[in-house]
Structure 1
């Protein structure tokens, strides 16, 4: 039986995530996922693609905000800011507003990153639509890259690690799933089966699989050390390269917001295309 083996949320975009046993599915993602973001002085998103050390920042959701820790810095409690104050922010093609966390949080994140930085909170995720090419006009997303959830399978990771091991002559340790920052991880299916899914049920929640996930250099940064290497992009380029990108995992949009998913939930594929058709991706 295919089942949900782990759930992950990332309170601050590009910082460390936390594993949970259950999560409420909201229209824009898992509850508490990527509602905070770090931006530069112009309001443009800062990510671990450029500042690798972001992966060493460990945020934990509290009852009234965040507790953040990082190497060589004292912990900081950040209350959820007043949404009455808004600043302009930019994340990829999205331009919207968010609530500033304030000078103390800005100073802490600037020290942690080694560059000027500001922390903001997305008090109202309905401000950010998803890409209309792959989703509906009413779909929304938090500060995740493009879509509310990302699903990966243990079998696909195992298949990729076989290639990594072969490419390294047996010298490379298996890559952990944390390299790929999925929201949900599934087991009990064939490797790469998720490519063909179009609708899936996880427990009582149903989702549309709207697009494959093209992977960037962020996956090459070790989440434990913030050191960059060539994997997994080098091995993905051997077996999962098309349309000028490398692909791993699929993006989901909830059709039943308000449902709660739990580790151990059964997975049911409600709609799929014939094997080999591949994930949804930009038209050539």
Structure 2
């Protein structure tokens, strides 16, 4: 039996994650997942790739408020409303995509700028903002995505992590890979071969394996960088110049997921690795 072991969202791109018992699923991903993002003065996204200390910022949600704790102890906790800002939309860039987002108020932006030591803005993806998922892989022309790197939902099996950890001198936790769904009951990397799954009334399409980058080498507790696990992954999970770990999914409709839900595999495909 294949089930959901855990659920995770990352409200602000490249900050810490929040583990959930259940979550609403929207077309662009789990509710609140990566709906906020930090951008520089040119409107380009800011991430742990160039600012690993972002790992030290831990969000939490209470009622309609989101709180950001600075685990380095430098700044006092920031809180702001999760509702859509009343500001005018601005153009922001994430990878090769450009879309609209609404900046938050000056107090919020000053807090993040002080933490990073450079001018940044926190922006929110409002409902009217449309970032279309990569049409080379998306099943529908109107498939959309949040500020996630490329696709609405990332799933990784516990068995895939167990296999990786069996090859490492020092084990790494799942948070290095920032999944939304952790699955259990599969063979290692079997998620790569899932073309279509159903979880209750929700249908999800497995569209593309996830190519991994240096973010996986950042310790999410300390923000320190190392060589692993990317070095070891490259020895057995490389195809071409990409290192693959986890599968990207696109939901067909809105719905709900909860920990313990059974996963029904409806269609399979050939895995790349």
Coarse TM-score class (shorter-chain normalised): over 0.9
Give 2:182's aligned residue. 185
Equivalence for 2:38: 38
SS of the equivalent of 1:24 reads: strand
Is 1:200–2:204 an aligned residue pair? no
Alignment check: 8 A CA contact 2:239 2:272 kept? no
Listed as ranges, the matches of 1:2-17 within 5 Å are 2-17=2-17
| CA–CA distance in structure 2, aligned partners of residues 124 and 266 of structure 1 | 30
C-alpha deviation, 1:199, in angstroms: 0.4
Q: Does the 8 Å CA contact 1:204/1:261 hold for their aligned counterparts?
A: no
Question: What pairs with 1:239-278 in structure 2 (closer than 5 Å)?
Answer: 239-257=236-254, 259-273=255-269, 277-278=270-271
- How far off is 1:202 after superposition? 2.4
Give runs of ≥4 in structure 1 deviating > 6 Å: none
Return the alpha-carbon distance in structure 1 between the equivalents of residues 62 and 188 of structure 2. 37
- Distance (whole Å) between structure 1 residues aligned to residue 272 and residue 198 of structure 2: 17
Tell me the CA shift for residue 82 of structure 1. Answer: 2.7
Q: C-alpha distance in 2, partners of 1:60/1:73? A: 16
Partner of 2:64: 64
Matched, 1:154 2:147: no
Among candidates 72, 75, 85, match of residue 73 of structure 1: 75
C-alpha spacing 1:28/1:61, structure 2 compared with 1 (3 Å): same
After superposition, the C-alpha distances for 1:126-177 in whole angstroms (9 at most, x for unaligned) are 5110111110211000111100000000001111111113xxxxxx2x1100
Give secondary structure in 2 for the equivalent of 1:238.
coil
Q: Secondary structure of the equivalent of 2:175? A: helix
String of CA shifts for 1:6-33, please: whole Å, max 9, x gaps.
0000010000010000001100000111
Matches within 5 A, 1:211-250: 211-250=208-247
Distance 1:183 1:125 in 2: 23
Say whether the 8 Å CA contact 1:4–1:202 is kept in structure 2: no
Secondary structure (helix, strand or coil) at the match of 1:209 reads strand
User: Structure 1 regions of 5+ residues with no counterpart?
Assistant: 166-171
Q: What root-mean-square deviation, in Å, do the aligned CA atoms of Structure 1 and Structure 2 show?
A: 1.4
**Is the Cα contact below 8 Å between 1:203 and 1:262 reproduced in 2?**
no
Partner Cα distance (1:130, 1:180) in 2: 20
Structure 1 residues 234, 159: closer, same or farther in 2, change over 3 A?
same
* 3-state DSSP of counterpart to 2:253: coil
Distance 2:84 2:158 in 1: 38
Question: Please, which moves more after superposition, 128-137 or 196-205?
Answer: 196-205
Task: Give 1:270 deviation, angstroms.
Answer: 0.7
Give me the whole-angstrom Cα distance separating, in 1, the residues matched to 2:84 and 2:3: 38
CA 1:81–1:28 in structure 2 vs 1: closer, same or farther (change >3 Å)? closer
Q: Aligned ranges for residues 46-195 of structure 1 at < 5 Å?
A: 46-70=46-70, 71=72, 72-79=74-81, 80-124=83-127, 126-135=129-138, 136-165=140-169, 172=170, 174-195=171-192
Equivalent residue pairs, number:
269
